[in-house]
Amino acid sequence: MDELLKQLIEYLQTVSPQLWAILLKQTYSNAFVQVLAGVLFLVPTFFCVRIVIKAYVEDALDSVIGITVICCGVVLLIFGISFLLSGVQGFYNPEYYAIAKIIELLRGR
């Protein structure tokens, strides 16, 4: 399988370097959007933590509101880290995601 992928990469780089360049740019673009989405999910998480800590210190933490804010914060944290890690992986290894896109297109998904 590795040999087949290496041959596919070499073929694309020699026969269609423009296609390969476009796929790499698209991979970087997708990675940037995922990192941005991750940051946008993580920013409200810090506000949730701040609200909970402030309410806890002032002994004003109502159980229903506190649990709701904590649950929202946990969900936002999970989504934020997930998007952030996916985006970083896209920046770290864009060739892999370009090859995965080609294979996806060849399979007809």
What is the reported pLDDT for 60?
Answer: 66
- Widest CA span of the chain, in angstroms? 68
What is the reported pLDDT for 17?
Answer: 77
What is the reported pLDDT for 88?
Answer: 94
What is the reported pLDDT for 83?
Answer: 95
pLDDT band at 71; cut points 50, 70, 90? confident
pLDDT exceeds cutoff 70 at 66: yes
Tell me the one-letter amino acid at 103.
Answer: I
Mean pLDDT of the region 15-35: 87
- Check residues 25 and 51 and name the one with the higher pLDDT: 25
Joined together, the tokens standing for residue 63 give 């159980």
DSSP codes joined into one string, 69-88: HHHHHHHHHHHHHHHHHHHH
Domain boundaries, given as residue ranges, for the chain: 30-103
Give the residue from 18, 78, 70, 20 showing the smallest Cα distance to 48. 70
| pTM of the entire predicted model | 0.74
pLDDT band at 15; cut points 50, 70, 90? low
pLDDT exceeds cutoff 90 at 63: no
